Chains A and B, each alone.
Chain A
Amino acid sequence: MTRRIELGLLYSRSGSYCLISEACRTGALSAIAAINGDPSHGLTFHPVERDPGRNIDLYAPMADDILRNTTARHIIGCVTSWSRKEVIPVLERAGGTLWYAVPYEGFEASDHVAYTHACPNQHLLPLLDWTFPAYGRRGYLTGSNYIWGWEMNRLARDTIMAAGGEVLGERYLPIGSLDVGRMIEEIRVTRPDFIHNALIGPSSYEFLSAYKALGATDPAFLPENCPVLSCNLTECELPALGLASEGLIAAGPYFRGASDASFGSSHEEAAFKAVQELARLLAEPGSETAPLANLLTATPSLIDAQTHHTELPTLIAQVRGGAFQILERQAAQPGDPYLTHDRPRAARTLRVVS
Chain B
Amino acid sequence: MKRTVRIQNLGGARAVILHRPHAVVQALTRQLAAIGLHVDAVWPDLDASALGADFVFFDADMGHDGQFPWAPGASPMPMIALIGSEAPGRIEWSLSIGAHAQLLKPVGDSGAYSALLIARAAFDARRAAEIEIADLRARIDERQTVVQAVTLLARQGTEAEAYAQLRQMAMTWRVTLEQAAARVVARYGAGGADDRHSRS
A338 near B36 with CB under 8 A, answer: yes
* A–B Cβ pairs within 8 angstroms, 26 of them: A109-B34, A109-B35, A111-B27, A111-B109, A155-B7, A158-B6, A293-B30, A306-B30, A306-B33, A307-B34, A336-B36, A338-B11, A338-B34, A338-B36, A338-B113, A339-B7, A340-B9, A340-B10, A340-B11, A340-B12, A340-B35, A340-B36, A341-B36, A352-B7, A353-B7, A354-B8
Least CB distance, A111 to chain B, in whole angstroms:
5
A353 touches B9 (CB 8 A): yes
Which residues of A are found within 8 Å of B37, using beta-carbon distances? 340
**Chain B count of residues within 8 A CB distance of the other chain:** 19
Q: Is the CB of A354 within 8 A of B6?
A: yes
B36 touching A308, Cβ below 8 Å: no
Total contacting residues, chain A, CB less than 8 A = 24
B interface footprint on A91-135 (CB within 8 Å = 1, 0 otherwise):
010000000000000011111100000000000000000000000
Residue of B nearest to A309 (CB): B34
Q: Is B31 positioned at the interface, with any CB of A under 8 Å from its CB?
A: yes
Residue of A111, A336, A339 near B30 (CB, 8 A) is A111
Contacts of B44 in A (CB 8 A): none
> Which residues of chain B from 6 to 32 have a CB within 8 Å of any chain A CB?
6-12, 27, 30-31
Q: Across the interface, which residues of A come within 8 angstroms of B8, CB to CB?
A: 353-354
B66 interface residue per 8 A CB criterion: no
List B residues at the A interface (Cβ < 8 Å). Answer: 6-12, 27, 30-31, 33-37, 108-110, 113
- A110 close to B110 (CB less than 8 A): yes
- Listed from nearest, the 7 A-B pairs whose CB atoms lie closest are A340-B11, A340-B36, A109-B34, A354-B6, A353-B9, A338-B35, A340-B10
Compute how far the CA of A353 lies from the CA of B36 in the bound complex, rounded to whole angstroms.
14
Q: Quick check: A110 and B109 within 8 Å, CB to CB?
A: yes
User: Does A342 belong to the interface (CB within 8 Å)?
Assistant: yes
Contact A88/B34 with A338-B10, A353-B6, A354-B7 known, Cβ cut-off 8 Å: no
B114 nearest CB across to chain A (Å): 10
CB-nearest residue of chain A relative to B37?
A340
| Distance A158 CA – B9 CA, assembled complex (angstroms) | 14
Number of residue pairs spanning A and B whose beta carbons lie under 8 angstroms apart: 53
B32 to chain A, nearest CB (A): 10
**How many angstroms from the CA of A110 to the CA of B27 in the assembled complex?**
11
CA distance A109 to B112 in the complex (A): 11
Q: Which residues on A are within 8 Å of B, measured CB to CB?
A: 88, 92, 107-112, 155, 158, 293, 306-308, 336-342, 352-354
Q: Which of A88, A109, A342 neighbours the largest number of chain B CB atoms within 10 Å of its CB?
A: A109
* Bound-complex Cα distance A112 to B31 (A): 12
Residues of chain A contacted by B31 (CB below 8 angstroms): 109
Question: Are B7 and A306 in touch, CB under 8 angstroms?
Answer: no
What's the nearest-Cβ distance from chain A to residue B167, in Å? 35
Known contacts A352-B6, A352-B7, A354-B7: A337-B34 contact under CB 8 Å:
yes
Q: What residues of B have a CB within 8 angstroms of the CB of A338 in the complex? A: 10-11, 34-36, 113
**Complex CA–CA separation, A353 to B4 (angstroms):** 12
- Whether B109 lies near A112 (C-beta < 8 A) is yes
Contact present for B7 and A158 (CB under 8 Å): yes
List the A side residues contacting B9 at CB < 8 Å: 340, 353-354
CB distance from A141 to the nearest CB of B (A): 15
A108: B residues at CB distance < 8 A:
110
Q: B113: which A residues are within 8 A, CB to CB?
A: 107, 338
Q: State the Cβ distance, A335 to closest chain B Cβ, in Å.
A: 10
In the bound complex, what is the Cα–Cα distance between A155 and B5 (angstroms)?
11
CA distance A337 to B9 in the complex (A): 13
A341 contacts B7, CB within 8 Å? Answer: no
A221 to B30, CA, bound (A): 47
Instruction: Collect the chain B residues with CB atoms within 8 Å of residue A342's CB.
Output: 11
Measured in the bound complex, the distance between the Cα atoms of B29 and A293 in whole Å is: 13
B43 to chain A, nearest CB (A): 23
